């Protein structure tokens, strides 16, 4: 593992933490310049062209634009807070962040506010996305300035920048995108895909980027995100709401997964639709009809499937009744340290009533391919080498014989502060020296919370714990998160969820 790369990652993390605790910075300012330099030195696997000033890394840009609020290129003040006030939700319009369920509101023509319920690792991922965005838009500004000064031979290059405000339609527009791909030194296909993701607003994005001041964006962190007491307090409030929702069930089974797979497998309404031959894609289309959504909600409620009424800036949660005495608490994905506080408070709340705990997540695979399933036997923390062991109750036998992907086991998962800052040397080191199956962000916080609860005698020792990840990308194979897993991702997600449900049913019986 290259010492320069490793030190750059550690220095980047330290500096980014300091900026977050300080409470503000400009990505195009002095602190931002240090972050950009360290990111370039670290050579992230998801960002192979960071150090190439003559090439726009379209795949990295695609990755971060899906994790930043829509129309980030028009924003000048970006406020990050822990929770969004009811007045803001009433007075301002929401903004979508495609790959993150994060309450965000446009508070002015060039300002927005967003809520981060998670811990420091989630914030570090956010700062990494902003840093990449700044690097790539700086490249665009330099390219445009060079063309306008006549530093390049091709007159067409000048016309590209001058034509962005009137891109035209059809063939004219495609021609503009092609000439832009030549300027960016990227593939026309990948630039076209980015334009589709931006709903045809790629010329608008590039025009805003090249005409803006590189130091214009300011990020403000309004809360003291480093103070653990505030996380504990909010987690306690959330756990109390969940406790009231389970209505005194004698046993509870915790699952951290997603919003759809577990309830879809247990929903009688979905089961009836599946009998007609509908696949999961077809079911999703049917549920776009508000009337069908209401019909399903009524049927699910009668079957004991309910959504817990929590605020938007707290984790989404579902309750599924299994019998008169047992239920499943299903939590939507937590980010980083947030998982520790949630599981810690649920352990405190339910104590001896806790029957099992399961984690269904997505991760980058280091030993397999996209769609493969990983069953770790322990976790290792990047940077410290600390290990966190647990007995995984799931095995390859829990998956069907005709499962079209591999089930990988016999090694740890690597837990990191942010997926974006991992480079090939680091990942290959953990694969070769630790036999690491994959790389993820939440595992250690979860198992640490469970282990501490056992040591404090809050929950019974030896309760079944299951951890399963499906591979959403394979960074060492150049297969990154910027490329959607698509329909093939449904198979491992639902197979993993079914394996967990079978285990829980076995415990309940």
Domain residues of the chain, as ranges?
3-221, 228-267+303-508
pLDDT higher than 90, residue 102: no
Over residues 296-317, mean pLDDT: 89
Over residues 372-393, mean pLDDT: 93
CA neighbor of 58 nearest in space, from 198, 164, 154: 198
CA neighbor of 332 nearest in space, from 354, 349, 307: 307
SS3 content of the chain, % helix, strand, coil (to 5): 50, 20, 35
Q: What is the DSSP string of 156-211?
A: HHHHHHHTTT---SHHHHHHHHHHHHHHHTS-HHHHHHHHHHTTT-HHHHHHHHHH
DSSP 8-state class, residue 109: T
Q: Treating both helix axes as pointing N-terminal to C-terminal, what angle do 120-148 and 155-162 enclose, rounded to 10 degrees?
A: 130
For 13, 221, 339, 340, the CA distances from 22, given in Å and listed in that order, are 14, 8, 24, 24
Structure tokens at 458: 């809050």
pLDDT score of 44: 87
Judged by average pLDDT, the poorest of 54-68, 164-178, 226-240, 335-349 is 226-240
pLDDT score of 425: 85
For 105, 271, 298, the CA distances from 490, given in Å and listed in that order, are 31, 16, 25
CA neighbor of 344 nearest in space, from 449, 240, 441: 449
pLDDT score of 248: 78
Structure tokens at 32: 């931002």
Over residues 437-464, mean pLDDT: 94
Over residues 46-51, mean pLDDT: 90
Model confidence at 484, pLDDT cuts 50, 70, 90, reads low
pLDDT score of 219: 96
Which residues pair with residue 112 across a beta bridge?
Answer: 78, 106
Over residues 9-13, mean pLDDT: 89
Q: What is the DSSP string of 231-294?
A: HHHHHHHHHHHHHHHTTT-SEEEEEEE-SSHHHHHH-HHHHHHHHTT--HHHHHHHTTSHHHHH
The average confidence (pLDDT) of the chain is 89
pLDDT score of 284: 84
* Model confidence pLDDT, tens digit, residues 69-85: 999 999 999 999 888 88
pLDDT score of 2: 63
Distance separating alpha carbons of residues 145 and 480, to the nearest angstrom = 31
Which residues 6+ apart lie within 8 Å of 412 measured at CB?
376, 377, 378, 379, 380, 387, 434, 435, 436, 437
Structure tokens at 503: 């285990």
Measure CA of the first residue to CA of the last residue in the chain; give whole Å.
49
pLDDT score of 486: 58
Structure tokens at 18: 């300091």
The answer regarding whether domain 228-267+303-508 maps to CATH 3.40.50.1580 reads yes
> Which H/E stretch holds residue 328?
strand 326-332
Phi, psi dihedral angles at 468 (to 5 degrees):
-140, 135
Distance separating alpha carbons of residues 266 and 299, to the nearest angstrom = 11
Rg from Cα positions in the chain: 24
Over residues 469-488, mean pLDDT: 72
Tell me what percent of the residues of the chain surpass a pLDDT of 70. Answer: 94
pLDDT score of 8: 87
Which residues pair with residue 381 across a beta bridge?
Answer: 415
pLDDT score of 82: 82
Which residues 6+ apart lie within 8 Å of 360 measured at CB?
255, 256, 257, 258, 261, 468, 469, 493, 496, 497, 500
Q: What is the DSSP string of 366-433?
A: SSS-TT-EEE-SEEEETTT--EEE--B---GGGS-TT-SS-EEESSEEEE-S-GGG-BHHHHHHHHHH
Over residues 54-65, mean pLDDT: 94
Return the HEC string of 35-66: HHHHHHHHCECCCCCCCCCCCCCHHHHHHHHC
Model confidence at 478, pLDDT cuts 50, 70, 90, reads low
* Model confidence pLDDT, tens digit, residues 81-99: 888 889 999 999 999 988 8
Stronger pLDDT, 394 or 316, i.e. the higher one: 394
pLDDT score of 465: 97
pLDDT score of 216: 93
- For β-strands 407-409 and 373-375, DSSP reports them as parallel
Over residues 130-140, mean pLDDT: 97
Identify the top-confidence range among 4-8, 143-147, 449-453. 449-453
pLDDT higher than 90, residue 159: no
For 86, 147, 151, 208, the CA distances from 156, given in Å and listed in that order, are 51, 10, 13, 20
- For β-strands 412-415 and 438-440, DSSP reports them as parallel
CA neighbor of 473 nearest in space, from 445, 426, 435, 440: 440
Which residues 6+ apart lie within 8 Å of 449 measured at CB?
339, 340, 341, 342, 343, 344, 347
Q: Treating both helix axes as pointing N-terminal to C-terminal, what angle do 120-148 and 30-42 enclose, rounded to 10 degrees?
A: 100
Over residues 243-270, mean pLDDT: 92
Over residues 356-370, mean pLDDT: 94
Q: How many CB atoms lie within 10 A of CB 475?
A: 21
Model confidence at 117, pLDDT cuts 50, 70, 90, reads confident
pLDDT higher than 60, residue 106: yes
pLDDT higher than 60, residue 158: no
Distance separating alpha carbons of residues 198 and 204, to the nearest angstrom = 10
């Amino acid at each position: 593992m290259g010492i320069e790369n490793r030190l750059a990652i550690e220095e980047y993390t330290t500096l980014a933490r300091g900026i977050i605790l300080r409470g503000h910075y400009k990505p195009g300012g002095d602190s931002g310049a240090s972050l950009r330099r360290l990111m370039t030195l670290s050579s992230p696997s998801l960002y192979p062209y960071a150090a190439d000033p003559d090439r726009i890394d379209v795949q990295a840009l695609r990755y971060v634009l899906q994790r930043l609020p829509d129309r980030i290129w028009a924003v000048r003040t970006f406020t990050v807070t822990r929770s969004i006030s009811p007045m803001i939700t009433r007075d301002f319009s929401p903004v979508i962040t495609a790959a993150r369920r994060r309450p965000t509101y446009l508070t002015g023509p060039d300002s927005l506010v967003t809520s981060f319920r998670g811990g420091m690792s989630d914030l570090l991922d956010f700062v990494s996305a902003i840093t990449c965005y700044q690097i790539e838009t700086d490249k665009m500004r330099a390219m445009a300035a060079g063309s306008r000064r006549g530093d390049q031979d091709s007159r067409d290059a000048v016309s590209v920048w001058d034509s962005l405000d009137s891109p035209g339609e059809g063939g004219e527009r495609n021609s503009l995108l092609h000439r832009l791909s030549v300027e960016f030194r990227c593939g026309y296909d990948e630039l076209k895909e980015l334009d589709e993701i931006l709903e045809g607003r790629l010329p608008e994005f590039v025009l805003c980027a090249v005409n803006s001041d590189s130091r214009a964006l300011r990020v403000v962190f309004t809360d003291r995100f480093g103070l653990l007491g505030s996380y504990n307090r909010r987690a306690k409030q959330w756990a109390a709401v969940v406790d009231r929702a389970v209505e005194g069930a004698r046993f509870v089974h915790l699952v951290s997964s997603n919003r759809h797979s577990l309830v879809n497998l247990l929903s009688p309404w979905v089961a009836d639709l599946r009998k007609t031959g509908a696949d999961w894609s077809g079911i999703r289309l049917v549920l776009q009809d508000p009337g069908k959504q209401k019909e399903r909600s009524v049927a699910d409620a009668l079957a004991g499937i309910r959504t817990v009424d929590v605020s938007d800036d707290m984790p989404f949660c579902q309750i599924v009744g299994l019998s008169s005495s047992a239920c499943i608490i299903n939590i939507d994905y937590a980010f980083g340290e947030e998982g520790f506080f949630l599981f810690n408070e649920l352990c405190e709340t339910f104590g001896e009533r806790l029957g099992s705990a399961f984690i269904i997540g997505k991760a980058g695979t280091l030993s397999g391919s996209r769609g493969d399933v990983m069953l770790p036997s322990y976790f290792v923390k990047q940077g410290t080498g600390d290990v966190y062991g647990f007995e995984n109750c799931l095995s390859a036998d829990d998956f069907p014989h005709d499962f079209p992907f591999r089930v990988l086991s016999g090694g740890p998962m690597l837990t990191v502060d942010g997926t974006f800052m991992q480079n090939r040397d680091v990942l290959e080191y953990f694969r070769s020296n630790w036999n690491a199956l994959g790389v993820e962000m939440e595992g250690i916080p979860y198992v640490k919370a469970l282990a501490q609860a056992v040591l404090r005698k809050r929950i019974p020792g030896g309760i079944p714990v299951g951890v399963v990840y499906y591979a959403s990308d394979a960074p060492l194979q150049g297969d990154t998160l910027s490329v959607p897993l698509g329909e093939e991702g449904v198979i491992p997600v639902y197979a993993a969820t079914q394996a967990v449900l079978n285990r829980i049913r076995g415990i309940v019986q």
